[in-house]
Amino acid sequence: MSFDVIVVGGGPAGATAAYQMGRAGAKVLLLDKAKEFPRDKPCGGGLSARLLHRFPYVREFLESGEVPVNPIRRVHLESPDSTRVTYGQNDPVLYLIRRWEFDAALFRRAQGVCTVRNGVMIRRCEVKPTHVELESTEGEIFTAPVLIGADSANSVIARHTGLRSEAAHKEYAVDMMEETDYSRLQVADREAIYLFLTLTQTFGYGYIFPKTEHLNLGFGCKLDWYLTALRGKGAEHHAGWVETLKQKGDVTGETDRSRYKAFPIPVSGPLAQTFTDRVLLAGDAGGFVNAFTAEGIFYAMASGSLAADTVLEAMRSQRYDKRQLSAYQRAWQREIGDDLRHSVEIQHRLFNGSGRMDSLVRNAKHDPELLRLIIGYSMGAARYEELRSYMMRSTVPTWVWGKMKAAVGLSA
Q: Is residue 407 predicted with pLDDT exceeding 90?
A: no
81 located within any domain: no
Write down the pLDDT at residue 408. Answer: 44
Query: What's the confidence (pLDDT) of residue 201?
Result: 62
The CATH number of residue 327's host domain is 3.50.50.60
Give the percent of the chain with pLDDT over 70: 92
At residue 109, the pLDDT reads 96
CA distances to 249, 275, 323 from 330, in Å: 47, 11, 11
Domain identity same for 134 and 176:
no
Residue 79 lies in a domain: no
Say yes or no: 291 and 258 in one domain.
no
Confidence label for 163 from pLDDT (cuts 50, 70 and 90):
very high
Per the prediction, the chain carries an average pLDDT of 90
Which of 250, 266, 282 is the last residue in one of the domains? 266
113 shares a domain with 36: yes
DSSP-assigned letter for residue 11: S
**Angle, in degrees to the nearest 10, between helices 356-365 and 384-407:** 100
Contact 356, 349 (CB under 8 A): yes
Answer whether residue 198 shows pLDDT above 80.
no
Query: 302 and 262, same structural domain?
Result: no
Domain extent, residue 192, equals 169-266
Arithmetic mean of pLDDT, 77-100: 94
Q: Final residue of a domain: which of 234, 249, 266?
A: 266
Q: Mean of the pLDDT values across residues 175-185? A: 94
Residue 206's domain is classified under what CATH number? 3.30.9.10
Q: How far apart are CA 220 and CA 238, in angstroms?
A: 10
- Whether 180 and 148 map to the same domain: the answer is no
More confident residue, 92 or 358: 92
Q: Are residues 188 and 311 in the same domain?
A: no
CA-closest candidate to residue 287, choices 269, 305, 314, 262 = 269
Q: Residue 48's closest CA among 67, 69, 28, 66?
A: 69
When divided into structural domains, the chain yields a total of: 2
**Nearest by Cα to 350 from 388, 397, 394, 401:** 388
In a domain, 149, yes or no: yes
Query: What was the pLDDT predicted at 300?
Result: 97
Lowest mean pLDDT among 291-300, 303-312, 342-351: 342-351
pLDDT on residue 406: 52
Q: Could you tell me the sign of the dihedral formed by the alpha carbons of 187, 193, 197, 203, in that order?
A: positive
pLDDT at res. 166: 65
Give 15-72 pLDDT, tens digit per residue. Answer: 999 999 999 999 999 999 998 888 877 788 999 999 999 999 999 999 999 999 999 9
Q: What angle do CA 119, 123, 127 make, to 5 degrees?
A: 115
How would DSSP label each residue in 352-383?
A: SSSSHHHHHHHHHHT-HHHHHHHHHHHTTSS-
Question: pLDDT digit string (tens) for 226-262?
Answer: 888 888 899 999 999 999 999 999 999 999 989 999 9
Q: CA 380, CA 92: separation in Å to the nearest integer?
A: 12
Largest separation between any pair of C-alpha atoms in the chain: 81
Check residue 395 and give its pLDDT.
55
Same domain, 14 and 39: yes
Q: What pTM value is reported for the model? A: 0.92
> Does 238 reside within a domain?
yes
Contacts of 278 (CB under 8 A, 6+ apart): 127, 131, 132, 145, 146, 147, 320, 321, 325
The residue among 295, 326, 347 that closes a domain is: 347
